[in-house]
A and B are shown apart, each in its own frame.
Chain A
Amino acid sequence: MSALPLAISRRRRRSVRHTLDLRVSPYAYVAPFFLLFCAFGLFPLIYTAWVSLHEWTLLSDTHEFIGLDNFSTLLADGYFWNATFNTLSIGVLSTAPQLVLAIWLAHLLNGRLRFQTLFRVALLVPNVTSVVAVVVIFSQLFGRDFGLINWVLSWFGAGQIDWAAGTATSHIALSVMIMWRWTGYNALIFLAAMQAVPRDLYEAATLDGASTFKQLRSITIPMIRPTIVFVVIVSTIGAMQIIAEPLLFGASMSGGAAGSTGGPDRQYQTLALFVYEQGFGKFDFGYASAASWLMFLAVVLVAGINFLITRRMKGGLV
Chain B
Amino acid sequence: MRLRYLTLIAVAFFSAFPLYYSVVVASRHNSALAQVPPPLIPGGNFFANVARVFDTVPFGLALANSVLVAGSISIAVMFFSTLAGFAFAKLRFRGKNIMLVITVATMMVPAQLGIIPLYMLMVKLEWTGTTYALIVPALVNAFGVFFMTQYLSRALPTELLEAGRVDGCTTWGLFWRVVLPVARPAAAVLGMLTFMSAWNDYFWPLVVLNPDNPTVQVALSTLASGYVNDYVLGLAGTAIGTLPLVAVFALFGKQIIGGIMQGAVKG
Contact = CB atoms under 8 A, between A and B. Distances in A.
A254 B236 CA distance: 20
A315 interface: no
Given A123-B15, A130-B241, A139-B231, 11 more contacts: A30-B88, A43-B114, A108-B4, A121-B254, A148-B21, A185-B260, A243-B203, A255-B225, A276-B207, A292-B113, A299-B110
B124 to A, nearest CB: 11
A67 interface: no
Interface in A237-258: 237, 240-241, 243-244, 247-248, 251-252, 255-256
A124 interface: yes
A48 B114 contact: yes
Interface string A10-48: 000000000001110111011011101101110111011
Interface stretch (A74-82, A91-99, A186-194, A214-222): A186-194
Given A36-B140, A146-B33, A125 B249 contact: yes
A8 interface: no
A145 B114 CA distance: 40
Given A117-B254, A243-B112, A285-B116, A36 B139 contact: yes
A133 interface: yes
Contacts of B241: 130, 132-133
B234 interface: yes
10 contacts: A25-B172, A30-B99, A32-B84, A34-B99, A43-B114, A136-B224, A148-B21, A188-B257, A275-B112, A280-B119
A120 B113 CA distance: 34
B75 interface: no
Interface of B: 4, 7-8, 11-12, 14-16, 18-19, 21-22, 25, 33-34, 36-38, 80, 83-84, 86-88, 91-93, 96, 99, 103, 106, 108-121, 136-137, 139-142, 145, 170-172, 175, 196, 199-200, 202-203, 207, 217, 220-221, 224-227, 229, 231, 234-235, 238, 241-242, 245-246, 249-250, 253-254, 256-257, 260-262, 264-265, 267
A65 interface: no
Contacts of A191: 261
A116 to B, nearest CB: 10
Best-buried of B171, B172, B235, B250 by chain A (most CB within 10 Å): B171
A261 B91 CA distance: 51
A123 B120 CA distance: 39
A264 B88 CA distance: 51
